[in-house]
Chain A
């Protein structure tokens, strides 16, 4: 296996492959010559500065954008042909937070385009409630999405992206603007999904990345793959253009009951 391959705990089959992929917008290179593959059962993070191409790379994997050159394959095929096997959680900023929709109806949207879409109404409700139960949200099924806190909204979006039982889960900045406890909660949910699911997650949170994922795809126009253990300050400097110092805090805090 080459340096540009990420191997997971699955059967070694490539799930995502990029062969010399470039993408330009308004004659400006956004992604240049990306070459890597991600195998089944991996937990991978895509990191890079704002505007560096993380979301563009995610959209190329999903087939929402076509590369200017090169080839993207997901499960060995054009991504647009395997959408039913991919779960996606977009950035929350794209959603209207005041839209009148319940948690149940929002999660049920995740069944569109999957074989489960043609199930009976009662069966679909069962499937959605199972997904909500995994995210500990079943008691909020009939509440409006707008009534959920930031952390619960993220869990709802994960429920929506996993309700169709996808083989590949792609998340765009799932822990952005979320507090520490909600972040930890979300991370533990995502870790439980691997290795049954391959998870690719865009994140700007380097601390999280260094602690939880196996491999990192560094994106700032060019794309470089590193296993987390081999991450160095040179690698980060190449991506972010600055020296970045990661400090590990080995402190445990306990809240004591003063009564």
Chain B
């Protein structure tokens, strides 16, 4: 349970930071494409690990590899062939899932991992997973702080950013790669199917009253941590799936905040 709580805190930090960029830039569908494609890497690495008896080959590394590959492909499609972007995202989304399911079905022995990766199970997170999540968090937060102004410029006005000498292509792909790292962090908590909800909802709640992306990041991280920990507590006491409980709670809070904003505006 202690590891579950620690992973929830780390996941909340990552999704608060990256979720703010994703919501502000309105690239939820790109993030969705990346998140579903990671199943391909998970399935492939699990198959190789079992068939070749490579105990050290954690499927989560496959998720990292396939997520980063999807980020680069989607990034280039978005920058160079905007009219084909939807098709590329759809293709990666479906192909990634199919490859994952295929290799998992070919993997000999009892295989409960498909459900775990699709829907998450923060209660069975290992120490190795915790260390990896901590490293990924450090990379995500460190990169965001180091390149904050340039990333915001690229998100807000690519043309102007180019005129200031910013390599827009490189920073946009960096943003998507950071999204891929965040997806891998969140898969352990809520699974592939629900990753997007956790990535987007806390940031969407925070952004309503934030005067800057940086303020939104701090607020979204706090909100995400509270949602993850509270959701975990509810799921533990009511014997419910942790990932789904966290997302239901997030969705409810988002709807309440939207309703409150709407009432405030109309009055």
Docked-complex contact B165 and A96, CB < 8 angstroms: no
**How far does the alpha carbon of A31 sit from the alpha carbon of B153 in the complex, in Å?**
30
Q: Which residue of B lies closest to A144 (CB)?
A: B211
Docked-complex contact B164 and A112, CB < 8 angstroms: yes
**How far does the alpha carbon of A218 sit from the alpha carbon of B153 in the complex, in Å?**
32
Docked-complex contact B153 and A109, CB < 8 angstroms: yes
Q: Pick from B163, B164, B165 the residue with the most CB of A within 10 Å.
A: B163
Is the CB of B24 closer than 8 A to any CB of chain A? yes
Docked-complex contact B212 and A90, CB < 8 angstroms: no
| A-B contacts, CB under 8 A, total | 70
Is the CB of A115 closer than 8 A to any CB of chain B? no
Residues of B contacting A90 in the complex (Cβ-Cβ under 8 angstroms): 157, 159-160, 163
CB-CB contacts below 8 Å: B119-166 with A: 149-150, 152-153, 155-166
Residues of A contacting B166 in the complex (Cβ-Cβ under 8 angstroms): 112-113
**How far does the alpha carbon of A64 sit from the alpha carbon of B157 in the complex, in Å?**
14
Q: Which residue of B lies closest to A170 (CB)?
A: B163
Is the CB of A88 closer than 8 A to any CB of chain B? yes
Per-position binary interface string of chain A over residues 86-130, scored 1 when its CB falls under 8 Å from any chain B CB and 0 otherwise: 101011001110011110011001101110000000000000000
A112-B149, A112-B153, A113-B166 known; A100-B160 Cβ under 8 A: no
Docked-complex contact A99 and B24, CB < 8 angstroms: yes
Docked-complex contact A99 and B155, CB < 8 angstroms: yes
Docked-complex contact A105 and B165, CB < 8 angstroms: no
Docked-complex contact A106 and B156, CB < 8 angstroms: yes
Q: Pick from A83, A96, A109 the residue with the most CB of B within 10 Å.
A: A109
Is the CB of B210 closer than 8 A to any CB of chain A? yes
Docked-complex contact B162 and A64, CB < 8 angstroms: yes
Per-position binary interface string of chain A over residues 59-84, scored 1 when its CB falls under 8 Å from any chain B CB and 0 otherwise: 00010100000000000000010011
Docked-complex contact A95 and B156, CB < 8 angstroms: yes
A84 to chain B, nearest CB (A): 8
Interface footprint category on B: 20 to 34
Residues of A contacting B156 in the complex (Cβ-Cβ under 8 angstroms): 95-96, 99, 101, 106, 109
Q: Pick from B160, B161, B162, B207 the residue with the most CB of A within 10 Å.
A: B160
Which listed residue, A94, A109, A142, touches B211 by the CB 8 Å rule?
A142
Q: Which residue of B lies closest to A88 (CB)?
A: B163
Docked-complex contact A160 and B212, CB < 8 angstroms: no
Is the CB of B245 closer than 8 A to any CB of chain A? no
Docked-complex contact B153 and A83, CB < 8 angstroms: no
Which listed residue, A83, A100, A112, touches B207 by the CB 8 Å rule?
A100
Docked-complex contact A105 and B212, CB < 8 angstroms: yes
**How far does the alpha carbon of A91 sit from the alpha carbon of B165 in the complex, in Å?**
18
Residues of A contacting B155 in the complex (Cβ-Cβ under 8 angstroms): 99
A109-B153, A112-B150 known; A160-B211 Cβ under 8 A: no
Per-position binary interface string of chain A over residues 38-58, scored 1 when its CB falls under 8 Å from any chain B CB and 0 otherwise: 000000000000000000000
Which listed residue, A83, A99, A142, touches B165 by the CB 8 Å rule?
A83
**How far does the alpha carbon of A100 sit from the alpha carbon of B23 in the complex, in Å?**
10
Residues of A contacting B35 in the complex (Cβ-Cβ under 8 angstroms): none
Q: Which residue of A lies closest to B158 (CB)?
A: A94
Docked-complex contact B207 and A109, CB < 8 angstroms: no
A146 to chain B, nearest CB (A): 11
Docked-complex contact A102 and B212, CB < 8 angstroms: yes
Is the CB of B94 closer than 8 A to any CB of chain A? no
Q: Which residue of A lies closest to B156 (CB)?
A: A99
Q: Which residue of A lies closest to B213 (CB)?
A: A100
* A-B residue pairs in contact (CB < 8 Å), sample of 24: A64-B163, A83-B164, A84-B165, A86-B163, A94-B157, A94-B159, A94-B160, A96-B25, A96-B156, A99-B25, A99-B156, A101-B152, A101-B156, A101-B212, A105-B152, A105-B212, A106-B156, A109-B149, A109-B152, A109-B153, A109-B157, A110-B164, A112-B166, A114-B164
Q: Which 6 A-B pairs have the closest CB atoms?
A: A113-B164, A88-B163, A113-B165, A90-B159, A112-B164, A83-B165
User: A86-B163, A100-B212, A101-B156 provided; 6 other pairs, C-beta below 8 A?
Assistant: A64-B162, A83-B164, A88-B160, A94-B158, A100-B24, A109-B160
Residues of B whose CB lies within 8 Å of any CB of A are 24-26, 149-150, 152-153, 155-166, 207, 210-213, 216
